[in-house]
C-alpha cells in the first residue's frame, strides 16, 4: 500500500513544482484603468504614487495646550506669559505674537511662526489672561513638523501593491482623487456533472445539490477579479468542449469543478488536450490529486476535482496564487506557524496533506491544533468547522498527540 502510494507519488508533481510551473507560465493581465480612490480597495496599484504636497501641510500642534516661544522660557524656573488668542484646527491664529505672549492651541491647530513649542493644557495654570508655566517646561515639544510624514514629491505607495484601507487613507491625506490600477482578471467558472441539481429544485435519487459553484463564488470574491458563474454543464463531451472553447474567447481564466479524475465521464483532460494544452495533471497533494492546468487559446484553464473539500484546498493552494499573479499582485505566501497537535493524525506517506484543523492559542501565546474530525474530501462540514490546515509533508506517516506540526490558518482571526 505504502509502496504503491510512493510509486504513484513519483509520477506526480509536488505542490512546490506545480507552483513553480504556474509561476513560469503565467503573465499578468496587461491592461490598466483609472478608478476613484473610494473604489480602489483591494485593487492592484499599477504605478507608484507620489505626494503633491507635504504631509503635514502646516506645522501644527499634537496636543490641546498653549503655543509659546522657547526664547520666553526662564532658565529652569517657572514663568508666566500673557494669552493673546487661539489657534483652532482649521482656523489659525491671525495675529502676530510678541515676546512674553502665548496662544491657546488645539490639536491640529497651526503653530504660529513666532512660536516653536507647545505645552499640554494639563501642565499649566490659567489665571484669566495669564498662563503660568512650570519650571520643568520643555522646549520644542508637541509639534508636528511640515512634511514629517511624507515630503512633497515623496513616495506614498509603491507598485505593484494591493491597496488596503490604510493606503486609501494615506492617498486621501495627500489629496489623491483617483489611482491607476490593473484591470480585473476576467474569470468564468462552471460545474460539470449529470448528478448536479440547482438549489430550489427537489433532489431526485442519485442527484446532489451543486455546492461547488457557491464555494467558488465565495472564494473568488476579490476586487481584483471580475467573476461570471456560467452554471452547470452535463457530462457530455461535445457540450463541454463547446463551452470551454466559447468561454475561452471572452475570459482570462476558466475554472471548472468535477470531471477531472479518470472516471469514464471525466472528459476534462481529454478535451483540454484536443482544444488547448495541458500543463500538468496530477499533483501529490491530498485532498486534490486530480487537477488540470492548461491553456485554451489565450485563456488559462484550471480543472479542479469535484469533491467539495478538494475544490477549496486546490483553489487555495494552487489556483489562488496563480490568480494573484495574473492580477499583477506582488508575490506573497500563506502564513504558516508551528503548533502542538492535540490529536493523533492518520497519514500514509506519498502526498503532502492539508488536513483540516482547529487552531487555538492559550493565554501564554502557545498554539494548539486539533483535528477537525472526519477528513474525507467530500466532508464539507468538518472544513466548515475548521479554521486552519494542518500541513503534513509527503513523507510523514502520521502524527502522535503532542507532536509539533505546521499549521496554515485560514484567516488572521482564530
Least distance in Å: CB of 225 to ligand AMP? 20
* Bridge-based pairing state of the strands 277-282 and 337-341: unpaired
Closer residue to ligand AMP in complex, CB, 224/319: 319
Q: How far is CA 12 from CA 42, 384, 392, in A?
A: 35, 29, 17
What cell numbers appear for 78 in the block? 517657572
Q: Which region among 160-168, 203-211, 237-245, 325-333 touches ligand AMP (by CB under 6 A)?
A: 203-211
Single out the segment in contact with ligand AMP by CB under 6 A; choices: 69-77, 86-94, 252-260, 292-300: 252-260
Q: Is 191 in the site for ligand AMP (CB under 6 A)?
A: yes
Q: Which residue in the shown chain puts its C-beta closest to ligand AMP?
A: 306
Q: Is 357 in the site for ligand AMP (CB under 6 A)?
A: no
Length of the chain, in residues: 414
Residues that contact ligand AMP, how many (by CB under 6 A): 19
Cβ closest to Mg ion, residue 117 vs residue 212: 212
Smallest CA-to-CA distance from 258 within 300, 225, 211, 295 is with 211
Please state, in angstroms and as integers, the Cα–Cα distance from residue 48 to each residue in 45, 102, 211, 214, following that order: 7, 43, 41, 36
Residues found near Mg ion in the complex (CB under 5 A): 193, 258-259, 306
Q: How far is the CB of 202 from Mg ion (least distance, A)?
A: 21
Task: List the single partner that 211 binds among Mg ion, ligand AMP, none, CB under 5 to 8 Å by kind.
Answer: ligand AMP
C-beta of residue 81 within 8 angstroms of C-beta of residue 131:
yes
Q: Which helix (H) or strand (E) holds 17?
A: helix 15-25
| Residue 297 partner contact from ligand AMP, Mg ion, none using kind-dependent CB cut-offs of 5 to 8 Å | none
Q: Which of residues 297-356 bind ligand AMP (CB under 6 A)?
A: 305-308
User: Are 387 and 414 spatial neighbours (Cβ–Cβ below 8 Å)?
Assistant: yes
Question: Taking the complex as a whole, how short is the minimal distance between the CB of residue 290 and ligand AMP, in angstroms?
Answer: 7
Kindly state the smallest distance separating residue 330's Cβ from ligand AMP, in Å: 32
Stretch that binds ligand AMP, among 55-63, 83-91, 190-198, 319-327 (CB under 6 A): 190-198
3-state DSSP assignment of residue 179: strand
Estimate to the nearest angstrom the gap between the alpha carbon of 253 and the chain centroid: 20
Residue 308: left if φ>0, alpha if ψ -120 to 50, beta else—which one? Answer: alpha
Choice from 8, 116, 178, 195 touching ligand AMP (CB under 6 A) = 195
CB-based contacts of 82: which residues, under 8 Å, 6+ apart? 100, 101, 102, 129, 130, 131
Of 112-120, 175-183, 258-266, 334-342: span binding ligand AMP (CB under 6 A) = 258-266
Which of 117, 137, 212, 248 contacts ligand AMP by CB under 6 A?
212
DSSP 377-390: TT-HHHHHH--EEE
Q: Using the minimum distance from each CB to ligand AMP, give the nearer residue, 303 or 357.
A: 303
- Which partner in ligand AMP, Mg ion, none is near 260 (CB below 5 to 8 A by kind)? ligand AMP
Q: How many Å apart are CA 93 and CA 95, to the nearest integer?
A: 6
Residue ranges in contact with ligand AMP by CB under 6 A: 191, 193, 195-196, 208, 210-212, 257-261, 263, 266, 305-308
Amino acid at each position: 500500500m505504502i509502496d504503491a502510494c510512493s510509486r504513484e507519488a513519483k509520477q506526480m508533481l509536488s505542490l512546490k513544482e506545480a507552483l513553480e510551473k504556474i509561476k513560469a507560465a503565467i503573465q499578468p493581465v496587461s491592461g490598466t484603468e483609472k478608478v476613484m480612490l473610494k473604489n480602489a480597495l483591494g485593487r492592484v496599484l499599477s504605478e507608484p504614487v507620489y505626494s503633491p504636497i507635504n504631509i503635514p501641510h502646516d506645522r501644527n500642534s499634537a496636543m490641546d495646550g498653549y503655543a509659546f516661544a522657547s526664547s520666553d522660557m526662564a532658565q529652569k524656573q517657572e514663568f508666566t506669559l500673557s494669552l493673546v488668542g487661539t489657534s483652532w484646527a482649521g482656523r489659525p491664529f491671525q495675529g502676530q505674537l510678541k515676546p512674553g505672549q502665548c496662544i491657546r492651541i488645539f490639536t491640529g491647530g497651526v503653530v504660529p511662526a513666532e512660536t516653536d513649542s507647545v505645552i499640554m493644557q494639563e501642565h499649566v495654570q490659567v489665571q484669566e489672561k495669564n498662563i503660568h508655566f512650570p519650571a520643568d517646561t520643555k522646549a520644542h515639544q508637541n509639534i508636528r513638523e511640515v512634511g514629517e510624514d511624507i515630503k512633497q514629491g515623496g513616495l506614498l505607495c509603491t507598485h505593484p501593491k494591493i491597496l488596503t484601507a490604510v493606503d486609501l487613507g494615506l492617498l486621501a491625506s495627500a489629496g489623491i482623487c483617483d489611482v491607476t490600477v490593473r484591470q480585473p482578471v476576467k474569470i468564468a467558472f462552471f460545474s460539470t456533472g449529470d448528478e448536479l441539481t440547482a438549489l430550489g429544485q427537489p433532489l431526485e435519487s442519485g442527484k446532489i445539490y451543486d455546492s461547488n459553484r457557491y464555494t467558488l463564488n465565495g472564494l473568488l470574491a476579490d476586487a481584483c477579479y471580475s467573476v461570471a458563474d456560467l452554471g452547470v454543464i452535463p457530462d457530455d463531451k461535445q457540450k463541454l468542449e463547446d463551452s470551454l472553447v466559447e468561454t475561452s474567447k471572452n475570459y482570462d481564466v476558466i475554472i471548472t469543478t468535477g470531471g477531472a479524475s479518470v472516471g469514464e465521464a471525466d472528459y476534462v483532460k481529454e478535451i483540454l488536450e484536443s482544444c488547448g494544452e495541458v500543463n500538468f495533471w496530477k499533483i501529490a497533494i491530498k485532498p486534490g490529486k486530480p487537477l488540470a492546468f492548461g491553456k485554451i487559446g489565450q485563456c488559462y484553464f484550471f480543472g479542479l476535482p469535484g469533491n467539495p473539500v478538494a475544490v477549496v484546498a486546490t483553489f487555495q493552494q494552487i489556483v489562488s496564487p496563480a490568480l494573484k499573479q495574473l492580477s499583477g499582485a506582488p508575490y506573497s505566501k500563506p502564513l504558516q506557524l508551528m503548533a502542538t497537535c492535540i490529536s493523533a493524525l492518520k497519514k500514509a506517506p506519498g502526498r503532502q496533506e492539508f488536513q483540516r484543523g482547529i487552531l487555538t492559542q492559550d493565554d501564554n501565546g502557545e498554539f494548539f491544533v486539533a483535528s477537525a474530525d472526519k477528513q474525507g474530501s467530500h466532508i464539507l462540514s468538518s472544513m466548515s468547522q475548521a479554521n486552519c490546515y494542518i500541513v503534513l509533508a509527503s513523507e510523514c506517516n502520521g502524527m502522535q498527540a503532542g507532536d509539533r506540526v505546521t499549521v496554515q490558518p485560514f484567516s488572521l482571526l482564530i
